[in-house]
Amino acid sequence: MNLSERQDGPAQQAQTLCAHFQGIAETRMRGLPFLNQQLAVEAVGFSAQIAGENAATGVLGVLITPWFMNLIWLPENRDTLLAQGASGEHQFGGQRLTFIGADGEDIGGYESCSLFSPMFEFADQDAARQTAEQVLALLRDAPERAPERPAISRRGLLFGRVSGGAQ
């Protein structure tokens, strides 16, 4: 089912994403050397969220796969969804992050922000899940008044660095 046509809640949207990426894991990705065989496809913490400055509503969560960990943003207003390959920024918890529009052939559009790829830094599923939960806690702990901050890198967000630049 197409995510953009879904009227159900975050849990069902997360389940749809998992099923899509599990299919990819079992077909196109099977046997590739950059997969962490200790990991499985899992959706973590998908729930309603408001994206900073423009107060856009949607669903935010983390998708773990054996080859990546990404933040996934599913805006409620599908007219604002980024086109496949286009990038745009969203602010969560005082952090400005860059997302890229994506389109799964059987699920439709979503926006993705890479956190880790490849996934060899994680010994097991529990370690990956704990990291995903920590990222979401940071992004959902909105400051009372978000100070102006420069854009930070994905790894900077995870490791507490607030200076700009890719890492």
Q: Is the previous residue joined to 10 through a cis bond, with omega within 30 degrees of 0?
A: no
Q: What is the pLDDT of residue 167?
A: 45
- Within-domain flag for 67: yes
Q: What pLDDT shows up at residue 66?
A: 97
Please report whether residue 16 resides in a domain: yes
Give me the number of domains the chain comprises: 1
Does residue 26 sit within a domain? yes
Residue-range definition of the domain harbouring residue 91: 3-159
Asked whether residue 165 is assigned to any structural domain, the reply reads no
Query: How far apart are the C-alpha atoms of 125 and 155, rounded to whole Å?
Result: 19
Tens-digit pLDDT profile for the chain (167 aa)?
456 454 578 999 999 999 999 999 999 999 899 999 999 999 999 999 988 877 889 999 999 999 999 999 999 988 899 999 999 999 998 899 999 999 988 889 999 999 999 999 999 999 999 999 999 999 987 554 545 556 666 666 676 665 544 44
Q: Is residue 167 part of a domain?
A: no
User: Which pLDDT belongs to residue 125?
Assistant: 98
Q: What is the dihedral of CA 64, 66, 70, 75, to 10 degrees?
A: -60
